[in-house]
């Protein structure tokens, strides 16, 4: 799952990014409100972490504009202010939850999981194909009931393949959905990661699930 963090304090932004990446999320950072709004409108994210005091455009304005433009994505407000009025304004403008800085990272993660759970209520939080089973919220993968340990990037890549099971995903699509926005797609990193995944989920099994579609990309199917 992909999260946009709109936060101008670099130290905090990097701290959040590192922590979320360790949990297997793909994370992009915007350093001001205008950039945050632009990224949110032009890329697909599963959730936005939004600071309120931001340069160029403040967080409340960003939140209001996203909702005006019909973006339903969950928004978690992150703020140093703890006046009741700011929290109320944020929630009234369409934010889903807030957390006050400084915060315990465990609580921050729990709030994110709760928002993603609500968002995904209609969708499933488990992805399945043949005997491969992925639990998105627990971040676990099983094949034939046996747990397979994946790195966070392998997990994101497999999740993207499974969300598109039966369809071909090109390297460009993978780059856009699994890697950060400034990722250099001219490298063969994607092929390398596909190999890592194959070694973990297909190697030793009669039925291979990850298929190469020549000159187009990859597909996961039975």
Q: How far is the CB of 10 from Ca ion (least distance, A)?
A: 10
Maximum distance among all Cα pairs of the chain, rounded to whole angstroms: 60
Q: For Ca ion, which stretch binds (CB under 5 A), given 2-10, 60-68, 173-181, 191-199?
A: 2-10
Q: Whose Cβ is closer to Ca ion: residue 49's or residue 197's? A: 49
- Which string of x and - marks every residue 145-164 that binds Ca ion (by CB under 5 A)? --------------------
Q: Whose Cβ is closer to Ca ion: residue 57's or residue 130's? A: 57
- Which string of x and - marks every residue 3-42 that binds Ca ion (by CB under 5 A)? -----x----------------------------------
Q: Whose Cβ is closer to Ca ion: residue 51's or residue 86's? A: 51
Binding-site residue total for Ca ion (CB under 5 A)?
Answer: 3
Q: For Ca ion, which stretch binds (CB under 5 A), given 29-37, 51-59, 202-210, 213-221?
A: 51-59
* 22 token code pair: 């360790």
Contact between 12 and 21 under an 8 Å Cβ cutoff? The reply is: no
Q: Whose Cβ is closer to Ca ion: residue 32's or residue 133's? A: 32
User: Residue from 21, 24, 53, 164 that binds Ca ion (CB under 5 A)?
Assistant: 53
d(CA 197, CA 157): 8
Should residue 51 be labelled a site residue for Ca ion when binding is judged by CB under 5 A? yes
d(CA 76, CA 134): 25
Strand locations in 58-145, DSSP E? 75-79, 97-100, 126-129, 132-135, 140-143
Q: Whose Cβ is closer to Ca ion: residue 46's or residue 51's? A: 51
Residues 6+ apart with CB under 8 A from 115: 47, 74, 76, 96, 97
Contact between 132 and 143 under an 8 Å Cβ cutoff? The reply is: yes
d(CA 159, CA 179): 13
Please report, in angstroms and rounded to a whole number, the separation of the first and last CA atoms in the chain. 24
Q: Whose Cβ is closer to Ca ion: residue 11's or residue 146's? A: 11
Which residue's C-beta sits nearest to Ca ion?
53
Q: How far is the CB of 61 from Ca ion (least distance, A)?
A: 14
Residues 6+ apart with CB under 8 A from 34: 56, 57
Residues interacting with Ca ion, by CB under 5 A? 8, 51, 53
């Amino acid at each position: 799952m992909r999260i946009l963090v709109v936060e101008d304090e670099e130290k905090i932004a990097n701290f959040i990014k590192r922590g979320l990446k360790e949990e297997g999320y793909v994370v992009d950072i915007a350093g001001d409100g205008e950039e945050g709004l632009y990224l949110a409108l032009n890329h697909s994210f599963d959730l936005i972490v939004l600071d309120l005091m931001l340069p160029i455009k403040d967080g409340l304005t960003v939140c209001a504009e996203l909702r005006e433009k019909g973006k339903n994505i969950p928004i978690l407000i992150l703020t140093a202010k703890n006046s009741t009025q700011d929290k109320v304004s944020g929630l009234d403008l369409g934010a889903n939850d807030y957390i006050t800085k400084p915060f315990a990272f465990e609580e921050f993660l729990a709030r994110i999981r709760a928002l993603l759970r609500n968002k995904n209520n209609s969708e499933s939080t488990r992805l399945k194909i043949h005997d491969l089973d992925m639990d998105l919220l627990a971040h676990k993968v099983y094949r034939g009931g046996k747990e397979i340990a994946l790195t966070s990037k392998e997990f994101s890549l497999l999740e993207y393949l499974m969300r598109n099971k039966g369809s071909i995903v090109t390297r460009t699509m993978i780059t856009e959905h699994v890697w950060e926005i400034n990722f250099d797609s001219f490298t063969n990193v994607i092929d390398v990661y596909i190999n890592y995944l194959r070694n973990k989920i297909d190697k030793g099994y009669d039925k291979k699930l990850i298929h190469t579609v020549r000159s187009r990309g990859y597909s996961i199917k039975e």
